[in-house]
Every structure is written in C-alpha cells, then in structure tokens.
Amino acid sequence: MPPTLTTVVFDLGGVLVDWDPRHLYRQLMPEHEIDGFLDEIGFHEWNRSQDAGRPWAEAVAELAGTHPHRRELIAAYAERYDEAIAGEVAGTVALLDELAARGTRLLALTNWSAETFPRARERFGFLDRFEGIVVSGEERVVKPEPEVFHRLLERYHLAPTEVVFVDDSPANVEAARRLGMTGLRFTDPDRLRADLADLGLLSPTAMPNPEPPDGAG
C-alpha cells in the first residue's frame, strides 16, 4: 500500500507571500541597476545569515562597513523591510484554504528572520491556518540543511512518508525528498493545484468559495 499523505508543509516566501527585495529597491534606484547592486553586496548570502539568526543591526553594520558607498541602500532594507513584500500570493492562499476545508494537516517551514517574521504574522491572517510554523531565524538553522527538517518532523510527530513539502527552491525540495517526503517544486498556483490533485489532496478544479475552518483568522 502507498503511504497515506496527511500533511502539507508550505514554504512561505515565494509560495504564499510575494517577497522580493526588488519590490523595495525599485523605489530607491533605477530598475536596470538593481540586480547589479544585489550581486555587488552579495545580498542573498547576507540575507541568509539573518534567516539563520544573525541580528539585523549587526548585519547592516558589517555589510555597510565593507560597502560604505552603499550604506543607505543596505540600511533601507532593514528599515523598510515590509516594502519588500508586495502581498500574498492569492492563488496559493486559495489552495491553502481548500486544504484546510478538507481537514488536511497544515504546517509551514520558512527561511525568515526571527526579527521580521512577527510583522508578517500581524499582516497575513492566513498564517493562522497553520497548526505550526517553523521559522529558521528562531531555530538558527536554515533550509536546505537537514536539521531544520528533522526539527519540523520531530516537533509535530510526523513520519516523512506522510508529508508533502512545497517550496520554490529546488535545493529545498530535493532536501525534503532525501528525507523521504514528497517534494513539490512551486512555480505557480495552477501547477501546484495539479500536483496536489495528482496526489489526491485537492480536486483538479477550484471549490466554490471555500470557507475557512472554525476559529481560523
């Protein structure tokens, strides 16, 4: 008998939340300069350190020290972080609601700074759909490191074979698969619906006006 899939674990940024530093930097510099700037300062590795628990004040001071001519732009990311989030990915949130209406167990595993995540909690009511959210900045370990997946499984008493893991990062999806989970690479809500329908977790077409479960915000 194939394993019974009981639980869907979602990544947040890029799957349910439209996070992209370019959303902020479009307001601060010409569009054609943004990618060069992000590469110059090593943005993604720098940001990953905050996702792993480094304090923002320390991170800004260190990077501004090595790129003093970029100090204001570097500081702006920490000061105006909320502007790097355009909003929710509505199509994926609708799938989350449908899964909740079907009684699927829902969890999240996100690479996110412990300092900035509480602001997302306040902003996005759909996060209340989750039974629990494992935040890398609080754990001080990031995906795709196996340890953060093990903490998720142990904390919520999950067998890997009963878990579907959804993430937009190929490396994170592959890490989940190596641990025995069913990994789905997120590209867009329609593709995700089709993948979840193939696994028997959703219907191939949208439910009409799904109602959230009692008590969900």
Domain 7-16+89-198 has CATH 3.40.50.1000: yes
Please state the φ and ψ torsions of residue 212, each to the nearest 5 degrees. Answer: -65, 155
Cβ atoms of 142 and 148 closer than 8 Å: yes
pLDDT, residue 217, reads 38
pLDDT tens for 17-66 read 999 999 999 999 999 999 999 999 999 999 999 999 999 999 999 999 99
pLDDT, residue 166, reads 98
Q: Please list, in sequence order, all residues whose beta carbon lies within 8 angstroms of the beta carbon of residue 158, skipping any fewer than 6 positions away.
A: 7, 152
pTM for this entry: 0.91
Alpha-carbon dihedral sign for residues 32, 35, 38, 43: positive
Low-confidence ranges of the chain (pLDDT < 50): 1, 215-217
pLDDT, residue 207, reads 61
pLDDT, residue 214, reads 52
Tokens of 203: 């219907």
Q: What ranges do the domains of the chain cover?
A: 7-16+89-198, 19-85
Cis check: omega of the bond before 21, within 30 degrees of 0:
no
